[in-house]
Structure 1
């Protein structure tokens, strides 16, 4: 049952048409772009996909399409786990489980919707595992919305010991927590994949199995190089590590709309329409387009340096 859901794991965007429908042609271009730029696993129907703003029908179809477009070249994992009530969660997870994905990713705050503690988490986990096919690999995601619900060590071990979990998108944003979880995981096959750019390289050196932060939507190839060379003693590695950490600080300036502007520039998307970023980012976030220009220039310079070094 164990699959590899690790490495560079883009948190996929959802392209929309100007009239607010999913742009399936844009999605096809996006999948090809991810794979061409070093993606090892695709994470569809996550927060970056605007899953809280997608109907169940859209979440299911989006997951199916990504599986079809990936065509077995890389694993596809999906979440879509957004509902409050157990009945609604059961319906959405059962539907997502049938989309052909390699692993179904549970959201930690949906396992404890009222932040009541470990017993609520355990009860929800037991119920969900009883609903789902026993041979379906699972993942966990400490999604920040509607609130960031970090796993305790005991909860992590509870999930590990089921033998069902293959990946954790770690949103602790804390290197010591990553190190502790790597040690707790041991040889269980439960991969810790850090999502914070500021600690990306240090987390890789500490045993994080890749990276799954939002700037996998901007320069996944640079993260892929960093993952392979995280322990290399070179100026290129050290300088890239700093650039990636600083570039990712642009996230509060209108993400995911920010990334959609990037992909419109690339030609991947025809529209920057977003259900989450429902405003003009250039009006609200002063000089954001100039910042994107700098990120683009820095990205190209590091690509050239990597090419020269290889």
Structure 2
């Protein structure tokens, strides 16, 4: 019997970098511990927030291994990182992630078929991948927005559920009707849906979503952890918190992940440097800094309110 992953808040992890661009493992250890202290139920390592498209396969494997080691069984660690175009290369990458000790290997929906290719083609390639990964490794899907977003159809979700090998879906469709359809198919199976979209989060929980796995867990994860744990017990506070979190989430559209690293350094006090490989320049404007300060102030007020 494979492990059923816990409900709750699953941060999409950042990759701290040193000034020379190398991975900063001291800052990463601090970051891992912060996520867990803030209430993370699990960690999504090596994803788009991790700048996986700018990391070598050796770096992706080492990150997975290190995060698994430092988490030390406190929470499960899932990981992706198959960024190649060739299916053969993707299978190699996914096996390396499995070897690194990930509790689940997460597939990117847009890697298995181009935008104009059918679900049938995607499923055939998915079968090839599944045949060449260890059968005891739980699998998941991530509807990664880059280089294009491929939302899983009901047909693909049905295939995943029927296979019995899928346990996790990071859903980015941002559409409650589509989420409801997926949840209906997943009902009673091992597969769980973790919503990446803040504005539909509370409503999706009412229909059976397992939790949140999105960008804003890099800003105020404790608020998401509280919402996911208490939305049924304290519905009025949950509604208030949802109304606060949604406008705050618009910051993810601006200069991310640099903005999140700057926020963690300046507003939280972590040793994460404002360095990225993704951004052309590691520059945050005064206006953006002001916005980050205001998010911290609003987050503190929200935490004070829900703690009464």
Sort the TM-score into its range (normalised by shorter chain): over 0.9
Preserved CA contact (<8 Å) 2:82 2:108: yes
> Is 1:180 paired with 2:210?
no
> Is 1:304 paired with 2:304?
yes
Name the CA distance, whole Å, in 2 between partners of 1:111 and 1:23: 31
Task: Rate the CA distance shift 1:5–1:276 in 2: closer, same or farther, 3 A.
Answer: farther
Q: Which residue of 1 aligns with 2:256?
A: 255
Question: In terms of mean alpha carbon deviation, does 236-245 or 212-221 score higher?
Answer: 236-245
**Alpha-carbon distance, 1:113 to partner:** 3.4
Name the CA distance, whole Å, in 2 between partners of 1:154 and 1:270: 41
Question: In terms of mean alpha carbon deviation, does 17-26 or 273-282 score higher?
Answer: 273-282
2:284 is paired with a residue of what secondary structure? helix
Deviations for 1:1-24, whole angstroms, at most 9, x for unmatched residues? Answer: 133154201000000001100000
Task: Rate the CA distance shift 1:270–1:34 in 2: closer, same or farther, 3 A.
Answer: closer
**Alpha-carbon distance, 1:101 to partner:** 1.1
**Alpha-carbon distance, 1:32 to partner:** 0.3
> Is 1:273 paired with 2:275?
yes
Question: In terms of mean alpha carbon deviation, does 267-276 or 96-105 score higher?
Answer: 267-276
RMSD in angstroms over aligned alpha carbons? 1.4
Deviations for 1:77-99, whole angstroms, at most 9, x for unmatched residues? Answer: 00012110012112111111101
Q: What does 1:134-283 align with in structure 2 at a 5 Å threshold?
A: 134-232=135-233, 234-265=235-266, 266-283=268-285
Report the number of matched residues.
Answer: 306
**Alpha-carbon distance, 1:114 to partner:** 5.0
1:196 is paired with a residue of what secondary structure? coil
Q: Which residue of 1 aligns with 2:287?
A: 287
**Alpha-carbon distance, 1:71 to partner:** 0.2
Name the CA distance, whole Å, in 2 between partners of 1:236 and 1:198: 16
Name the CA distance, whole Å, in 2 between partners of 1:183 and 1:281: 44
Unaligned runs of 5+ in 2: none
Name the CA distance, whole Å, in 2 between partners of 1:299 and 1:194: 20
- 4+ aligned runs moved over 3 Å, structure 1: 231-235
1:250 is paired with a residue of what secondary structure? helix
> Is 1:42 paired with 2:81?
no
Unaligned runs of 5+ in 1: none
Deviations for 1:96-125, whole angstroms, at most 9, x for unmatched residues? Answer: 110111100000011113540112111111
